[in-house]
Structure 1
Amino acid sequence: MSIKTFLLPDLGEGLTEAELVRWMVAAGDEVAVDQPIAEVETAKSLVEIPCPFEGVVSTLHGEAGQMMLVDEPFISVNTGGEEAPEPAAQEAERAQSYREEERAGTQVPADEEAAEDEGSGNVLIGYGTSNAKRKSSRRRKPRGGVAASAAHAPSEAVRVINPLVRKLARDNALDINAVQGTGPDGLVLRTDVEAALAAPAQQPATGAKDAVAAPAAVAAVAPLPKAGAADSKTGLPVASSQVLSGVRKTIANAMSTSRREIPEATVWVDVDVTKLLKLRKKIKEAQGQAPSVMALISRFAVAGLQRFPELNSRIEVEADGGLRHTVFQGVNLGFAAQTDRGLVVPNVRDAHKLNANELSAEFARLASVAREGKAGVADLSGSTFTINNYGVFNVDGSAAIINYPEAAILGLGRIIEKPWVVNGKIKVRSICEMTLSFDHRVCDGGTAAGFMRYVADAMTDPKSALASL
């Protein structure tokens, strides 16, 4: 027989892991080429994984709820035919290659003269092997302490196959060598690093050198509280406790990054949309259908971004610490959509090329596929400006968090009838509160206010605004 192992494929846009939601087959089942075998949840959407082989399922390399890594064994299928190498042997060979790569450049060459004339041949991602870099590395003097001593004692690197695990530890000043791996043969998993960071011994956070000097303290892992058990801090029973994953984890990280990176400010205005609602009603009576209110307002917002392009931009940090401000000519319009899996932001590509009817249709289509969990990576990434209609939740207003790395987000509250002064007289009008949260680095308050005033005036007198678009 021949056992073929299918590795979890690249799911796009730099996604390196996915949560296994459910298997659609079991060991011993017959499978056909392109038959759906499992459903996984990425940071973007739910994805069905098809099988590339025909045969009988031999091994399922994971259980529901488990995080699966891209390019790691996902399913093994007995396809018949000639004998193939055992998956375990293949995995051991791959693990060894990773260990060799991680050790590349840490051992001193036997012939120093030859090392100066030739590259090491060991290429790490993000590092070259030129002579200049190697000479520069030897001129650096290691800092004192335990870390300096360790640099002179090359040994087999800790087993960490996923580079994101190393980055997570490095970004939090955690010595990866001090983390106790729970994977096969001591493999360090992301959950091991997250558990080490959450351990009480890590509070307050220490520097990298302290982490090296006290590996025992770092390795101490606090067990997660179980349902029904008393919480150590509050004394209250724990209803549930789980590590965030999938979309919920992505939302949490994005919101934290936005608050941490963007110095935002918020402006708001109450807008009389009575004429806008009347215009929409007339369009519906005449044509049998009409664009949604959000689509009409979005059309005004897109036009406003063409007049105030600073808000349709992003700021990125350069390698040297400088800030790069990138302004876009077109608009990919994101909109917040609530789904059973959490809040996602589909985006309408080239929204500046669409009229209100086309925008309305795209909003409906993307919202539908997002709620079904079928939105693709391209549907959920690449927006340059976002609009959030929190009025659907029956609230008047909100200072929305900017969808990082964008520069601004427009918020719409519910439309309610209020007494309003019109030409010196009090009348009942339909009023909507509109807010704009913006990155104060890309512009000052005058620009943000100018954009808001343009959109608000268009909403108040839509006929005049549409005539000029």
Structure 2
Amino acid sequence: MSSDMQVFRLPDLGEGLTEAELVNWLVAVGDQVKVDQPIAEVETAKSMVEVPSPYAGTVAELHGEAGQTLDVGKPLISIARVGAGSGSGPAADSVPAAAAASAAAPAAAAPAAADDAVSTGVVASAEVSAAAETYRTEEKAGSGNVLIGYGTPGGATGGRTRPRKASVAVVEPAAVPEVSLEPAVAGTRIPGKLSAVISPLVRKMARDHGVSLDAIEGSGASGLIMRRDVEAAISAPEAPAAAPAPVAASAPVAEGSVDGRTGLAVSARTPVRGVRKAVAANMTRSRSEIPEATVWVDVDATALLEMRAELKKRAPHETPGLLAFIARFVTAGLKKYPALNTRFETAADGSQEIVGFDGINLGFAAQTDRGLVVPSVRNAHTMSARELDAEIRRLTAVARDGKATPTELGSGTFTLNNYGVFGVDGSAAIINYPEVAMLGVGRIIDKPWVVNGELAVRKVTELTLAFDHRVCDGETAAGFLRYVADAIENPGGALADM
């Protein structure tokens, strides 16, 4: 085993994922890489992700080819240390940097002429210890399956940035000697800068909210970027989103290939992977585990359309969309009928329980070039229709660009599905596992409707609720559906009581 070779294994990207597809290498064998430099693009079941390197050095080996599915924990890239000789042993996991630094430390005292250098080294070592302690403190503040040393590259280009709340002059610090850090620190330190992020949780927070770490001046010791610094930067408007992720192409089919069952020529074979693979698994599990039932009702949406038209006259650019108003009615309905905002769990010993939540994360189905995804508006129950509209638009944009985070795509408690945009009236929807209900909204069209005993033409839509019959009976489901329907038919009265 060569101690000069550093092997970086494919990390768990924060959601307990077991594999990822290698979409594209961003480096080649022989290239020089820096800490936190993006080295590859991978597609998980959740989103497209740029993987940064936790090591600096020369690329010695790439463990995989574009289009290949790699297991989490398997070698991704081997990097020879900076200044390392041509070792002869096979690539292996690197020795912890802190241990290597300790082993290399001289036993004798430095000569008097080197006092300054020794002093600087001691200060740097103290900073490392303080940084490690800060990391542990920050890490205790969060939870989840977070890989140590993995995070969004602070100096990467192409990401969205947010300006700070207040203008702060950033002064580049003087150069400091390079210090070997323990892996937890080395993987998240920005080379050549005192301002750095120690906690992967803080880096993940920055990534989730599209915050550029280069735009933040850390308030911690030696300029460390703390959780509070990132939180302070999460308030400015979004910059334009990046270009959409490429769609996986079908694999070429050998000429003359014939399907044995149908006798027809095979025109294409498209691998099921990435988002499509996750959707397929999720739908299969939903259908096999959830005893779902469906109820539906036609709704006169004329009053809601008229109310929105009046608001649009007063504030053309600040009026929420129809989906945002319906989302507001849904969150109010879920407060009244909380059984539909739960999760049904079966333990390893066979015992079962229904898990309720103190809050609502409202998911909504979004069709993208990479497949159907369901981003969720976190804490939707605290938002107005206008706030819901802004967050739905933001999440739709990042989802279609393939930039939605695992948290944004996997934390919903109830899903709202607007399939009316596809020109259909209703659908026997598959519940988004592990949720227990989904409300669908059909297209709004002119239909004959009886109003005060007379026939009239009204704007009518169909609401369809699919629900898990294990968590509630039809009375609860019908009560919720009727609540939302009544709110759509009388939006002014409903909003006055919310």
Question: What TM-score, normalized by structure 1, do the two folds share?
Answer: 0.69
Letter in 2 for 1:15: L
Q: Distance in 1 between matches of 2:453 and 2:79?
A: 79
Contact 1:5-1:87 within 8 A present in 2 as well: no
Match of 1:325 among 354, 363, 367: 354
- Cα deviation, residue 86, structure 1: 6.5
Letter in 1 for 2:346: V
Aligned length: 338
Assess, with a 3 A threshold, how the Cα gap between structure 1 residues 338 and 228 changes in structure 2: closer, same or farther: farther
1:453 is aligned to 2:482: yes
Assess, with a 3 A threshold, how the Cα gap between structure 1 residues 61 and 87 changes in structure 2: closer, same or farther: farther
Q: Distance in 2 between matches of 1:463 and 1:305?
A: 19
Q: 2:92 corresponds to which residue?
A: 90
1:54 is aligned to 2:56: yes
SS at match of 1:13: coil
- Cα deviation, residue 4, structure 1: 2.1
Q: Distance in 2 between matches of 1:333 and 1:85?
A: 54
Match of 2:398 among 349, 369, 393: 369
Q: 2:11 corresponds to which residue?
A: 9
SS at match of 2:293: strand
Q: 2:28 corresponds to which residue?
A: 26
Letter in 2 for 1:328: F
Q: 1:244 corresponds to which residue?
A: 272
Assess, with a 3 A threshold, how the Cα gap between structure 1 residues 85 and 293 changes in structure 2: closer, same or farther: farther
Q: 1:230 corresponds to which residue?
A: 258
Q: 1:206 corresponds to which residue?
A: none
Q: Distance in 2 between matches of 1:405 and 1:279?
A: 36
Q: 2:45 corresponds to which residue?
A: 43
Contact 1:228-1:239 within 8 A present in 2 as well: no
1:442 is aligned to 2:471: yes
- Cα deviation, residue 227, structure 1: 6.4
- Cα deviation, residue 80, structure 1: 3.0
Match of 1:417 among 418, 443, 446: 446
- Cα deviation, residue 408, structure 1: 0.4
SS at match of 2:345: strand
Q: Distance in 1 between matches of 2:477 and 2:294?
A: 9
Q: Distance in 1 between matches of 2:438 and 2:402?
A: 24
Contact 2:6-2:92 within 8 A present in 1 as well: no
Comparing 7-16 with 346-355, greater Cα deviation is found at 7-16
Letter in 2 for 1:78: A
- Cα deviation, residue 25, structure 1: 1.7
> Could you list the runs of 5+ residues in structure 1 that have no partner in the other structure?
92-223
Q: Distance in 1 between matches of 2:285 and 2:337?
A: 25
Q: Distance in 1 between matches of 2:77 and 2:428?
A: 46
Q: Distance in 1 between matches of 2:365 and 2:409?
A: 10
SS at match of 1:414: coil
Contact 2:5-2:91 within 8 A present in 1 as well: no
SS at match of 2:443: strand
Q: 1:263 corresponds to which residue?
A: 291
Contact 1:411-1:434 within 8 A present in 2 as well: yes
Letter in 2 for 1:356: A
Contact 1:226-1:240 within 8 A present in 2 as well: no
1:426 is aligned to 2:452: no
Q: Distance in 2 between matches of 1:447 and 1:228?
A: 57
Match of 1:279 among 302, 307, 310: 307
Q: 1:355 corresponds to which residue?
A: 384
Assess, with a 3 A threshold, how the Cα gap between structure 1 residues 85 and 69 changes in structure 2: closer, same or farther: farther
Comparing 356-365 with 237-246, greater Cα deviation is found at 237-246
Q: Distance in 1 between matches of 2:303 and 2:398?
A: 32
Contact 2:6-2:91 within 8 A present in 1 as well: no
- Cα deviation, residue 52, structure 1: 2.3
CA RMSD in angstroms, aligned pairs only: 2.1
Q: 2:411 corresponds to which residue?
A: 382
Q: Distance in 1 between matches of 2:417 and 2:371?
A: 14
Q: 2:70 corresponds to which residue?
A: 68
Q: Distance in 2 between matches of 1:452 and 1:87?
A: 67
- Cα deviation, residue 273, structure 1: 0.6
Contact 2:32-2:58 within 8 A present in 1 as well: yes
Q: Distance in 1 between matches of 2:71 and 2:88?
A: 20
**CA displacement 1:365-419 (0-9 Å, x = unmatched):** 1111111111111101121100000011111111111001111000001111112
**CA displacement 1:133-178 (0-9 Å, x = unmatched):** xxxxxxxxxxxxxxxxxxxxxxxxxxxxxxxxxxxxxxxxxxxxxx
- Cα deviation, residue 321, structure 1: 2.0
Contact 1:24-1:38 within 8 A present in 2 as well: yes
- Cα deviation, residue 82, structure 1: 4.1
Higher percent of residues as helix:
1
Q: 2:99 corresponds to which residue?
A: none
Q: 1:302 corresponds to which residue?
A: 331
Assess, with a 3 A threshold, how the Cα gap between structure 1 residues 320 and 54 changes in structure 2: closer, same or farther: closer
1:462 is aligned to 2:488: no
Assess, with a 3 A threshold, how the Cα gap between structure 1 residues 58 and 468 changes in structure 2: closer, same or farther: same
